[in-house]
Amino acid sequence: MPANPTADSPPLWQQLQACSRALQAVRRGSNHAIALAAVEPRLRAAAQALLFAVLREWGRTQAVRQHLVSRSPPPAVDALLCVGLALAIPDESAMYPMHTLVNQLVEAAKRDPSTRAQSAFINACVRRFAREKSACLQAVADKPQARWNHPEWWIQAVKQDHAQQWQGILQASLSAAPMAVRVNRRRMAREDLQARWQAADVQTQSIGEDGLLLQQARPVTALEGFAQGWFSVQDAGAQLAAPLLLQGLTSELRPKWRVLDACAAPGGKTAHLLERADVEVLALDIDAARCERISDNLQRLGLSATVLCADAAQPSSWWDGQTFDAILLDAPCTASGIVRRHPDIPWLRRPSDLAGLAKQQKYLLQALWPLLAKGGHLLYCTCSLFRQEGVDQVQAFLANNTEAHLLPSPGQLIPGIASNTHSLSDNLAGEHDGFFYALLQRRATGT
């Protein structure tokens, strides 16, 4: 694990300080990527490993801290204390021996002006927890947020939508996700890349039509072929999008299909479409910086698309009037299906976000549907587990649009659990994030 000490790594107290500052940023509302970007590069990998460990224990950590100290300390002190408590909670999976953790935590407190005066307080709290660990954990065990390490509203939403699977979903969300890559079939055969990596002691398993699942995660730039565009990092569930959208489309629509990727950044699905078929792709995103990421990724992979910074929900500002044979709508959502990769998500979301995002998804569907050619396909997908952003959204759209026809689709994919509808032969059960997929076709004639 990156946070473990080595001869060349920064001292643990510096890693704990960096994690604490990133945690403060997350608590103020920043996502983990923004929070970690402020960490100096030599500490960033370690800070991320520590931060993810803390966030995966965040519900229980907050309950334990409240049990030990009823009055909240100042933010910097509270953050460092919570980092220590979160890392002290696990037993067999503990990252550090307790005496090392306490020693370095106090050192971190003493070396920071914002926590120095409270170093003895932090020391006393963590040592008390170490002595009374069983009693402390038992005292908070009946609190749902502490039991499942998710906000209570989130727990209830998952339970409501997945009555038989909610416990497995929450548990799976607390585990680290595997590293999966998509091989660029235009530059390298999957079997050849797999063999080259195996020779370098990088063990993989084939997934889907283009994917490899690494037995152990590696820094992407350390893997042979990244700079040459042989592969991209992409979850196995996300790799279903391109083949689903393109299946069944024929040259009867147009000699070279026009495809719209409506919410394209960072460009993984755009690239997969281009890797699999000779299509003309218009990749949209509302964020200019994220559009640059699309272009950079395509350049590395040796692919070409038209990239446009525009609001997909406002076609009048960018559409040229020519219909698309296929539209990929990877709609903005709660991202509730990718919590194992982004453990800050449940703590950054609010209950009102779900309704607001569902409204946005509905508007995007309605705005983009008229741009689809007769007989064309629109793939609606989200990386969400909530019905309001998935099956409910699609059923409402179908009920109000007689031109739309639902084709066989995976439906809801759940991390750690096999697809529960239309199981696909190329879907490796349990080794993908949570997604929802619905493939819609615009009827060619009549209703």
Q: What is the pLDDT of residues 331-379, one digit of tens each?
A: 999 999 999 999 999 999 999 999 999 999 999 999 999 999 999 999 9
pLDDT in the model for residue 255: 65
Instruction: Determine the average pLDDT of the residues in 9-37.
Output: 96
Q: Is residue 164 part of a domain?
A: no
The answer as to whether 391 is a domain residue is yes
Same domain, 281 and 364: yes
The pLDDT value recorded for residue 444 is: 80
Over range 34-63, report the average pLDDT: 96
Between strands 280-285 and 306-309, the pairing is parallel
Q: How many angstroms separate the CA atoms of 123 and 254, rounded? A: 70
Distances (CA, A) of 39 to 5, 35, 242: 18, 7, 36
Q: Note the pLDDT of residue 247.
A: 87
b/e map of 89-109 (b: 16 or more CB within 10 Å)? beeeeebbeeeebbebbbbbb
CB 151 within 8 A of CB 354: no
Looking at the DSSP bridge assignments, the partners of residue 180 are 213
The CA-based angle 38-41-42, given to 5 degrees, is 130
**Which is nearest to 57 in space by CA: 347, 350, 349?**
347
Predicted local confidence at residue 422, as pLDDT:
39
For residues 114 and 135, membership in a common domain is answered with yes
Give percent of the chain with pLDDT exceeding 90. 87
- Would you say residue 203 lies in a domain? yes
Residue 164 has pLDDT above 50, yes or no: yes
My answer on whether 53 and 112 are in the same domain is yes
Residue with tokens 């002595």: 131
Residue 160 lies in a domain: no
Q: How many domains, the chain?
A: 3
Boundary of a domain, candidates 148, 170, 190: 148
Q: Is residue 3 part of a domain?
A: no
Find all residues with CB under 8 Å of 381, minimum gap 6, and list them: 241, 328, 329, 330, 331, 435, 436, 437, 438
Q: What is the CATH number of the domain that holds 323?
A: 3.40.50.150
Supply the pLDDT for residue 9: 82
In which domain, by residue range, is 216 found?
Answer: 180-233
Treating both helix axes as pointing N-terminal to C-terminal, what angle do 133-140 and 58-68 enclose, rounded to 10 degrees? 110
Q: Is the pLDDT of residue 196 over 90?
A: yes
Residue pointed to by tokens 């990724």: 297
- At residue 319, the pLDDT reads 96
Answer for the pair 399, 364: CB distance below 8 angstroms, yes or no: no
pLDDT of residue 430: 53
Same domain, 223 and 270: no
- Residue 151 near residue 62 (C-beta atoms within 8 A): no
**Confidence (pLDDT) at 429:** 47
All residues at 6 or more sequence positions from 132 whose CB lies less than 8 Å from its CB, including other chains:
none
Q: How confident is residue 93, by pLDDT bands cut at 50, 70 and 90?
A: confident
Q: What pTM does this model have?
A: 0.91
Least-confidence region, from 98-107, 140-149, 252-261, 387-396: 252-261
Give the number of other Cβ atoms within 10 Å of residue 252's Cβ. 9
Mean pLDDT score across all residues of the chain: 92
| Angle value at C-alpha 113, between 106 and 38, nearest 5 degrees | 90
Tell whether the model's pLDDT for residue 250 goes beyond 70: no
pLDDT at 392: 97
CATH number of the domain encompassing residue 212: 3.30.70.1170
Is the CB of residue 232 less than 8 Å from the CB of residue 184? yes
Q: Do 210 and 249 fall within a single domain?
A: no
Confidence tier at 415 by pLDDT (50, 70, 90)? confident
Per-residue pLDDT, 426: 39
Straight-line distance from the first to the last Cα atom of the chain, in angstroms, rounded to the nearest whole number = 57
Residue 31 domain-assigned? yes
Is there a single domain that holds both residue 206 and residue 312?
no
Query: Does residue 395 form part of some domain?
Result: yes
Mean pLDDT for 29-58 is 96
Cβ neighbours for 179, distance < 8 A, ≥ 6 positions apart = 213, 214, 216, 217, 218, 233
pLDDT in tens, 354-366: 999 999 999 999 9
Q: What pLDDT is stored for residue 431 in this prediction?
A: 77
Q: What is the pLDDT of residue 92?
A: 78
For residues 75-90, average pLDDT: 96
Per-residue pLDDT tens digits for 264-305 = 999 999 999 999 999 999 999 999 999 999 999 999 999 999
Answer yes or no: do 225 and 246 share one domain. no
What average pLDDT does the segment 103-121 reach?
96
Judgement on whether residues 283 and 412 belong to the same structural domain of the protein: yes
pLDDT band at 249 (very low <50, low <70, confident <90, very high): low
- The first and second tokens of residue 173, run together, are 């969300």
Q: Are residues 306 and 209 in the same domain?
A: no
- Say which of 82, 125, 263, 383 is annotated catalytic: 383
- 148, 166, 200 — which closes off a domain? 148
Same domain, 220 and 328: no
Provide the pLDDT for residue 325: 94
Question: Are 279 and 415 within one domain?
Answer: yes
d(CA 105, CA 48) in angstroms, rounded, equals 17
pLDDT at position 161, please?
96
Indicate if the pLDDT at residue 252 is higher than 90. no
Boundary (domain end) residue, out of 165, 200, 233: 233
DSSP state of 406: E
Which CATH number is 133's domain given? 1.10.940.10
Co-location of 188 and 129 in the same domain: no
> Is the pLDDT assigned to residue 387 strictly greater than 80?
yes
Known catalytic residue at 125: no
Residue 162 lies in a domain: no
